[in-house]
Amino acid sequence: MAARRCAGVLDDYADASIRSASLPLLLRTPGRKEHSQNKQNEPAVAIDANNPTILAAGANDNIDLEACNAGDDRTCPFTPDVGTSGVYFSFDSGTTWTQPTYTGLSARGCLGVVGNTDPPCTPTVGPIGTVPNYFENGLVSDGDPAVAFGPTPGANGSFSWDNGDRLYYANLTANTSGGGVESFRGFEGIGVSSTDDLAAAATGDNSAWTNPKIISRQSSTTFSDKEQIWADNASSSPFFGTVYVCWAAFQGQEKSPNAAPAGLQVAVSRDGGATWHQHAVWGAANNGQRNPLDGCTVRTDSNGGAYVFGIGTVSQAGHQAFELMSRSTNGGGSWRKPVPVAGPVTQPGVFDPAQGRPTIDSFAGARSDLAPAPSVDIANGAPTGNDATDRIVMSFVSGTLAQPHVFFTESTDHGATWASPRAIETAGDRGFYTAPAISPNGTDVYVVYNAFTSPYHADTSSPNTLVGVVKHADAGGSGTGAFSELHRGASGDARGSSANALSAEFLGDYVYAAASRTYGAAVWNDARNPADCSAIDAWRESLITGGTVARPAPQQDCAPNFGNSNIYGGTYTDPTP
């Protein structure tokens, strides 16, 4: 089916070094402004190392869900069995983007009317903007997207870039209410699908994608969460083409909020995603001795070393939280015990009774659970590995509620030692989420972050000003230099973002970056488009104070663009070539 093109927002840029305008990854078509169909968050982006003009992105995208006016006008639910894992393509180095329209189970037509007498939404087969072939296999694409490019295996099973380029898409996955071909036990699994025909996939051809495969081992109490995917994309590696997915496996969190131990898991495929082997990197725990390891990142170096990073507590350090690293030198066959590489780190935020999680900007604000989670990249010289430095770069957010810093650190000896973390945010920015990228040859580092520029306040009466920022630094033998600001996006009021339950803001858990030898790419959560809704603000605060404010109906009590959080991104040429 026809794809929809993204329109550039050209007035954000004055810097001639920036390749393209800041682009929303989704262009909302006229009439598609109802919450929660206007909601995006949690972006991921990848550059094809073998063809660096090609990029792919993912995001949580509610475009196919029912509108608030469907059913009870005061609710904006996730529509049962309808997917939320958006997918997007660029074939011109990120200058323009396409969101394909596939066919699948859709609730786009469930718009409802004013009043609470509508029948429940009944999704039908129709146009979707999310990764395809899930409903047909009894599955639901449930967000937390991750994307990676790697080589395509040949007929003999060996990998070569001459065979073509494969895009992998991983996300959280649930069973449909009716079950199906790939049904599994537990609450959420990890699903992976792929495409070798990027051009057809970008035009909305369902058949260009494989059917999704559940790669996580599941029990009746397993909630697999926060996955990331990577393909070993340097042909110098003895494990070239191997695909890695890491995630946290929570046990029992849907049974009891007080019993959610998590173990960090890694699944490895050596045949292009046909089969997977799962390994426990760290056992499950959630107690006074050790908190669960979460917020993982996975990467490979030019020699095939594989690295998984997460955040967890260390008992010998007084149970303080650290960025932890586990390494494999045999293609993911075994993994070393995680060791602390940076920290201790602190989770900025205060407990918010409206959502039962820490928040960083205000009551009923944006959750900050994974602000300290590490995001990592490695200069592995892809696609050949010939000019690799194997420098590892990491960024994360840590600090006080008053000043959450965006920290940067690096290693030049395969993670054996690390530079002292340094704060790199612009003065006045309160870091929220961050991600780095380093060029394959190790000369340029890009860091993207979301930040609040307003202080924390224990109410909902004043704006929570959010901004997206992209920075650059040169890297060399003496280390990565000072960071300069490449781009500062338009700011917006995060109060206009919303969880589907409406009781709090929602900006997800991460941002993302990638780099080629000539440019960096960044995507972030953006609040320039949503409108604050005073009725929602008052109701959210009443949930905390015990007031009696009536629950609003967003489409009657708020502006049409309430909830319209977007993913914005840009590509940025190396300013010091």
Whole-number pLDDT of residue 251: 77
Going from the C-alpha of 438 to that of each of 283, 433, 531, 564, the distances in angstroms are 31, 18, 35, 31
Question: pLDDT tier at 23 (50, 70, 90 boundaries)?
Answer: very low
4-573 topology per CATH: Neuraminidase (2.120.10)
For the chain, give every domain's residue range.
4-573
Does residue 34 or residue 266 have the better pLDDT? 266
Whole-number pLDDT of residue 261: 60
Range from 176-190, 240-254, 557-571 that averages highest in pLDDT = 557-571
Whole-number pLDDT of residue 28: 36
pLDDT, tens digit (0-9, with 9 covering 90-100), for 144-191: 999 999 999 999 899 999 999 999 999 999 999 977 667 898 899 999
Residue 67 contacts residue 38 (beta carbons within 8 Å) = no
Q: Report whether pLDDT(1) > 70.
A: no
Give the DSSP per-residue string, 427-443. Answer: TT-EEEEEEEEE-TTSS
pLDDT, tens digit (0-9, with 9 covering 90-100), for 531-563: 999 999 999 999 989 989 999 999 999 999 999
Does residue 24 or residue 533 have the better pLDDT? 533
Whole-number pLDDT of residue 320: 83
Q: Report whether pLDDT(26) > 90.
A: no
Token pair belonging to 185: 């036990």
Q: Nearest Cα to 421, choosing from 405, 441, 436, 437?
A: 405
Q: Where would I find the H helices in 4-111? A: none
Whole-number pLDDT of residue 3: 35
Q: Compute the average pLDDT of residues 106-124.
A: 94
Whole-number pLDDT of residue 249: 87
Distance of alpha carbon 547 from alpha carbon 364, whole angstroms: 14
Whole-number pLDDT of residue 254: 55
Whole-number pLDDT of residue 312: 85
Residue 478: what are its φ and ψ, rounded to 5°? Answer: -90, 0
pLDDT, tens digit (0-9, with 9 covering 90-100), for 324-378: 999 999 999 999 999 999 999 999 999 998 888 899 999 999 999 999 999 999 9
